[in-house]
Structure 1
Amino acid sequence: MLVLGIVRGYGRAHGYRIGNDLLSWGADEWANVKWGSIYHALRALTDGGFLVDHNDVPGRTEYELTERGEAEYLKLLRDALRRPQPRPDFLGAALAMLPSLPRDEAITLLRQRLEALETQRDKARAQIDALVEPPHVGELFGLWESQAAGGAEWTRGLIERLEAGAYPMAGEPRSPGTPGSWESLRFPPYPPRDE
């Protein structure tokens, strides 16, 4: 999703630009992105018909989304927003690409996420209440309840911010959500990390 989203954002992008953006967002930490995995993803996405490559400049391949790539990108983005996953990189990728969606659609998907998280929270609470043996397993259910409750609280806050007009979304002035609109964006460097 991240590679497709960045190519989509720029309209056409080469591997170094994609990697530079991802690493500036710290994706090497939260999505395990490495330079080699970016180039592998570009080859696989091109072979799969999601991207088309252009070799207009000798020694530099640029990639562009196909219709199939656009459909796959939007499917992945929508699924990552609506379905809570145990791995945080899915949601992280969706948040990085959030402006690709119109505001109303993003809010609808996040409401579906909120409902799923509240269901997970309630299920974990019921498991705690029903647990007889072994008692220490209640800690596992308590962890799940706490994670779902925290996720639900955060999701509620994001919905409220979007409803209040935070962030330019697809179709709105200054939105980075339109394909090919990223030329003017300047991503700040990711905060320094302790090595």
Structure 2
Amino acid sequence: MSATRLLVLGVVHGYGRAHGYLIGNDLMAWGAGDWANVKWGSIYHALKQLTKDGCLADHAVPPGRTDYEITPKGEAEYRRLLGDALRRPETRPDMLAAGLALLPSLARAEAVELLTERLAELESRRDAARKQAEEWREPAHVRELFGLWEHTAAGGAEWTRGLLERLEAGAYRMAGEPGSPGEAGSWVILKLE
């Protein structure tokens, strides 16, 4: 699963229609180069591949610019990637980071449901790692690996619980709520006059 693919689809979804430089500029301004290893070349590669896959439609705009628009297939792919990013704990944090950056495109109830699945998986991983550590015999130092997994899963579960509490208390404007930046095509391109 590619964080770049999710992020590119998310930005095009947000604007409704966007060109490569706008997409890249937004992602770089968000620091995605650091937390998701997004590079200019990977953005343009994702645009080309998403167009080839039928997830984006490209439109030539004079003079020599290409705008991209999300297709119904792309919308479905975006929703799938975003859901997976929030529900599935991964070793690398880039997908979760991408999912969090695009969180407002979900309705509050959907976000809570996905994060509740994530919490259950993290708690299961924590408990399994604890059991492995308790039962492990030789070589003894390998027990540290299970301890690391337990600690990592426990920390992830604690953080997820806190986010769920904030969402359930009404934090952030989510899709379908007044002023939400999550509706398709709702982002405004700021222009310097």
Scaled by the length of structure 1, what TM-score is found?
0.93
The sequence identity of aligned pairs, in percent, is 68
Query: What residue number does 1:193 align with?
Result: none
Q: For 1:122-157, what per-residue CA distance to the aligned partner results, in whole angstroms no more than 9, with x for missing partners?
A: 000000000100111011111100100000000000
Q: Measure how far apart 1:87 and its partner are.
A: 1.0
Evaluate the alpha carbon distance shift between residue 185 and residue 83 of structure 1 in structure 2; reply closer, same or farther with a 3 A threshold: farther
Matched, 1:127 2:132: yes
Matched, 1:24 2:51: no
Q: For 1:148-178, what per-residue CA distance to the aligned partner results, in whole angstroms no more than 9, with x for missing partners?
A: 0000000000000000100000000010110
Bigger Cα displacement from structure 2, 55-64 vs 125-134: 55-64
Contact 2:7 2:98 in 1 (8 A): yes
Evaluate the alpha carbon distance shift between residue 107 and residue 132 of structure 1 in structure 2; reply closer, same or farther with a 3 A threshold: same
Query: What residue number does 1:52 align with?
Result: 57
Partner Cα distance (2:84, 2:74) in 1: 15
Q: Measure how far apart 1:25 and its partner are.
A: 1.1
How many residues matched? 186
Matches within 5 A, 1:34-183: 34-183=39-188
Q: Measure how far apart 1:59 and its partner are.
A: 1.3
User: Any gaps of 5 or more consecutive residues in structure 2?
Assistant: 1-5
User: Any gaps of 5 or more consecutive residues in structure 1?
Assistant: 187-195
- For 1:110, the aligned partner's letter is L
Q: Measure how far apart 1:57 and its partner are.
A: 2.5
Scaled by the length of structure 2, what TM-score is found?
0.94
Contact 2:55 2:75 in 1 (8 A): yes
